[in-house]
Structure 1
Amino acid sequence: MLLKRLTETNGISGNEKAVRNLIIEEIKDYVDDIKVDKIGNVIAYKKGSIESPRVMVAAHMDEVGLIVSKIEKSGLIRFMPVGGLDKRVLVSKPVVIGEDKIPGVIGAKPIHLQKGPERSKALSYQQLYIDIGASSEEQAKSNVKIGDYIAFDSKYVEFGKDLVKAKALDDRVGCSMLIDLLKSETNISIYGVFTVMEEVGLVGAGPAAFEIDPDIGIVLEGTTCSDVPDVDNHLTATKLGAGPAVSLMDRTTIFNKKLRNTIVNLAEENDIPYQFRRTTFGGNDSGKIHLAKEGAITATLSVPCRYIHSPISVMNKNDYKNTGKLLKLLIAEIEKGGLM
């Protein structure tokens, strides 16, 4: 299954090569041109049969993770975060380090030895380390070096009623939907862009959008889902199983109202459940796409995912399928004209 392979492939921000290679292999026979730009974005062009606005559909390849910052004399590994991580969930998590995928586990001082204040707050990164089973600095350095990327060792698992747990659903769900779109038949030309380093500041989207100069930008995302206990209703951004999430605004973009209304109408006309993303936390690649050159109108379609930016996220397969369906309906609507 494509989504399984995508989520189980490691691609920390700035080190997306393995994900990029998988994507190129998947789409190479379905598009007219593929370019990898200087910073690693994949820009695929699928030529249509009719004149249309210049459409850019984007999903980011990278995931949050860690990077080796120091190797102690004891052989333990110090690290720094890459992207926004909740350090409260890191202790005891299994990881793999570097291209050789050296296994390790994140550790800390045992709770029996922690003093009162240490027990009452999240441990800092300075208090955490990775144990790879090395007994000395020399032994550790034979397997790991400073600057190696560290990914969570987490497998794709289907469980419960139509649920999936996996790492990097943000944003391998978007990559998977975009691959599926590029494999399908469309009458309009599409630039399918798989961006790098979104998690560390929307880095890849700006250069890609500058080159393409889109009229319309569609961002595909795995977004926060907070339908869990002790969260006020007004802070519940999305709910699992309630359908694709349509963004109103976020920290980087106020999304185009006409394009958003088109998406909502398509969902209602085709009996696709949908929801609005009801908070403005965070941002996505639209923050750079809508500012490129003379600007572009943008929209974001998201799959709600619990526990994003952690070693394991959870999504509903029906939300994923319906987001992909709504995306294709939107592309077909753009073919008809009238949005520009």
Structure 2
Amino acid sequence: DGFAFPSNVGGWNPQILPSNPLRGNKCWGIASISPLGLLDKEEKKKAIKSEDLFIDGDNFSSGDFLVQDSSTATLGNPNLLVGKSFDDRAGVAVLIKILGELSDDLEIDVYGVATVQEEVGARGAGVAAYKLDPDLGLVLEVALADDVPMNEPHTPVVRLGKGPAITVKDASMISHPGLTDFLIKVAKEREIPHQLEILERGGTDAGRIHISREGVPSSVIGIPTRYLHSPVEVLDLRDLERAVELVTSALEGLTKPKFEAFFQTS
């Protein structure tokens, strides 16, 4: 009948999907739910669940993968970008820029990895960490920017335009204190605006990297981003530039004695 019934891949919020266009390699459609005019009062009060969704479109085949069909634009301010999948295209963009700017005279070896399937179990990061067996793990991610109106007064933890966020802890990992202190010290010495993030729910690839083999000291540098897991994520380009500066400076300044100091207790 031209309808398809989706299965969730990753952390999509089903409440934002109705009326959104979706596309695959050879198909296109609109996510929808039953018309509100056909629902009773109690049904209208219920939150939309993934099983309530269907896709109205054409040329679907069983097993097709669909993504949000949206474009990227500036949001008034030329530094503010709105678009899809900044989580985690932003991290990959920062990684590429860092690898292009790093000095050839580093005292350490640096491996850059663009992982897969982070949203369904950080599977690519687990494989990469096991193969590379690194001494240190630094994940380039987005950070949940909560500087938006809420139902109740609150103090935002992470704000757009205030610099990259250094993760203290999230639901999957506690960042290595020595590495966290080192990143903060570099940011202060270089006068790079930065923030600290504590995330009660959710995690990143660092959650798998830090428990690889005998364990890997790990942390996360996040690009503040609003409206995560939606087709209209928003970030500030200046935060990406500062993340590049912070990580590049940290890697170029990392020596064996400084690394060993991570594990010294006072």
Q: Same fold (TM over 0.5)?
A: yes
Listed one character per residue, the Cα deviations across residues 84-122 of structure 1 (whole Å, up to 9, x for unaligned) are: 11111011001102x22x221112222222211222122
Which residue does 2:112 correspond to in 1?
A: 192
Q: Does 1:156 align with 2:68?
A: no
Using structure 1 for the length normalisation, give the TM-score: 0.72
| One of 95, 99, 103 as aligned partner of 1:178 | 95
Cα 1:235–1:329 change in 2 (3 A) is same
1:126 is aligned, of 48, 51, 57, to 51
TM-score where L is the length of structure 2: 0.91
Letter in 2 for 1:127: D
Counterpart residue type for residue 176 of structure 1: A
Instruction: State which of 87, 92, 108 in structure 1 corresponds to 2:19.
Output: 92
1:80 aligns with 2:4: no
Q: In the aligned structure 2, how far is the partner of 1:257 from the partner of 1:76?
A: 51
Structure 1 residue ranges without an equivalent (≥5): 1-73, 133-139
* Per-residue deviation, 1:298: 0.9
Aligned twin of 2:28? 103
Identity of aligned residues (%): 34
1:167-226 alpha-carbon deviations (Å, 9 max, x no partner):
111111111111112223332321111111000011111111111111111000012111
> What are the ranges of 5 or more consecutive residues in structure 2 without an aligned counterpart?
261-266
Q: Distance in 2 between matches of 1:215 and 1:223?
A: 24
Residue 155 of structure 1, CA deviation:
0.9
Confirm whether residue 290 of structure 1 aligns to residue 210 of structure 2: yes
Q: 2: distance between equivalents of 1:235 and 1:146?
A: 46
Q: CA RMSD in A?
A: 1.7
Aligned to 2:228: 308
Aligned CA distance change for structure 1 residues 311 and 171 (closer, same or farther; 3 Å): same
Separation of aligned partners in 1, 2:223 and 2:151: 19
Q: Counterpart of 2:219?
A: 299
Inter-CA distance 277–117: structure 2 relative to 1 (3 Å threshold): same
Change (3 A) 1:276 1:185: closer
TM-aligned CA distance change 1:151 to 1:183, over 3 Å: same
CA distance in 1: counterparts of 2:186 and 2:101, whole angstroms = 19
Secondary structure of the 2:37 match is helix
CA distance in 2, matches of 1:285, 1:129: 31
Of Structure 1 and Structure 2, which has the larger fraction of its residues in strand?
1
Where does residue 333 of structure 1 map in the other structure? 253
Match of 1:69 in 2: none
Look up the equivalent residue of 1:108 and give its one-letter code.
Answer: I
**Aligned partners of 2:220, 2:153: CA distance in 1, in Å?**
22
1:159, 1:246 → 2: CA distance? 25
Aligned positions, number: 256
Q: 2:180 aligns with which of 239, 244, 260?
A: 260
Q: Aligned-pair distance for 1:231? A: 5.7
CA distance in 2, matches of 1:180, 1:215: 22
